[in-house]
Amino acid sequence: MATYLPSILVDAIGLLTEQFQRHERRKPFYGAHELYLKGREFSIPDLSAIRLSENRTTTTKYLVKSTQTVGSARSCSPTASFGDSGTVDLSWTTYAVTVTTSDKMFRNNYYSQVQALANDLYYAFMELHDDVETAMVAHLEANKTGVNSGSSWMGTFDTTNDIFPITLANVANYFNYIRTVMRENKYKNNLNLVQNVAAKAIMDYQGAQGPGNSTNLQYNYPNMSFYESSSVTSGSDYNIISYVGEDSAVGVLDWIPGINRDGKLKGEHEWTTMSDMFGFFPEISVFKKTACSDTSLTGGATQDPTEIWELSVDLSLVKAPISTATEEAIYKFGLQSS
């Protein structure tokens, strides 16, 4: 069980400086967060604002691509068919993590209760965002396209695993081929790439091959935004995995209960909010429960005022709807390892 016993006031102890503690506090790369947050304005009006309770269904409506027949002659009695519209019911997932504080434990400790709470909150937010990042990458994987019209000379789309592989021999053209294949699928605007961290090695090398070098590889990068994610893994068959889509291909809606936004105190319970320590979501809901606990085994006392803090947020991961069967707005590419 994790406690603050190692810093209890017993021996002569020095405190590590913040610079030496930063190695323990290093965060993963949350590239998927950055991409999904670009798509927070998913609907009009904002569904995060009008979802009044956990039990309220949230649905979006959109216009479906219509198909019209092209004729070869004019007519005095032309016919036509209507297009259609569709709906998407959103699903929500709650992410919750807890920390605790003690009054009497920290009357006999080198660290104050406030310092310990700040430390625990930092790692609680890290755990929460680790889970969210993993869920976002899983969402990209689950919603990658099963249709790809890319030219076969750049690679052959793997319809079993829904990935467009590019051979290691073509590493110099990896990002160039991605952009070209996306154009062949009619995507010609800015592309967002969520990739494993190892992709940076190729990007740094290519980025250094500028006009002054014998091999200029900077043609690879126009109209591309790159996001590193520690949750993207390449496996043994690929050196790089890239999930690719234009702006607004995916997004995230965040929501917290109204009672937390309004603030409420009821007996030993309090509902309120706080800012996201990592700066991703505007607000995180906070539920605080006060109790009397026995913390004598962890440096406290038999009658210790303690508090449990629950931090939570509801998230809905969304994607741009496409009516063609198995076609999605996210494409998966991989640079093969051999």
> Per the omega criterion (within 30 degrees of 0), is the bond before 45 cis?
yes
User: 30 forms bridges with which residues in the sheet?
Assistant: 229
> Comparing 44 with 304, which gets the higher pLDDT?
304
Reported as a pLDDT band with limits 50, 70 and 90, residue 12 is very low
Residues 307, 296: Cα–Cα separation, whole Å: 16
Q: What is the pLDDT of residue 213?
A: 63
231 close to 28: Cβ distance less than 8 angstroms: yes
Q: What is the pLDDT of residues 21-34, one digit of tens each?
A: 777 878 999 999 99
Q: What's the average model confidence in pLDDT over 214-218?
A: 62
The per-residue pLDDT for 8 is 47
For residue 319, is pLDDT > 80? yes
Percent pLDDT > 70 in the chain is: 88
Which of 317, 319, 295, 298 shows the shortest CA–CA distance to 306? 295
Q: Which residue has the tokens 């005022």?
A: 305
Question: Which residues have C-beta within 8 Å of that of residue 239, sequence separation ≥ 6?
Answer: 168, 198, 202, 335, 336, 337
| Cα separations in angstroms, 214 against 169, 210, 211, 298 | 19, 8, 8, 65
Q: How confident is the model at residue 4 (pLDDT cuts 50, 70, 90)?
A: low
Query: How far is the C-alpha of 283 from the C-alpha of 278, rounded, in Å?
Result: 11
In this structure, of 106-110, 133-137, 205-209, 313-317, the range with the lowest mean pLDDT score is 205-209
Contact status, residue 197 vs residue 230, Cβ threshold 8 Å: yes
Supply the pLDDT for residue 11: 47
- Residues 328/146, Cβ–Cβ less than 8 Å: yes
Tell me the two tokens of residue 123. Answer: 């790692």
Q: Per-residue pLDDT tens for 269-299?
A: 999 999 999 999 999 999 999 999 888 888 8
pLDDT (tens digit per residue) in 79-100: 888 888 888 888 999 999 999 9
Residue 174 has pLDDT above 80, yes or no: yes
Residue spans of alpha helices (H) in 6-112: 18-21, 31-38, 47-50
Q: Is 194 helix (H, G, I), strand (E, B) or coil?
A: strand
Q: 338 burial class (0-12, 13-18, 19+ CB within 10 angstroms)?
A: exposed
- Which of these ranges, 214-223, 224-233, 309-318, has the smallest mean pLDDT? 214-223
Averaged pLDDT score across all residues of the chain: 87
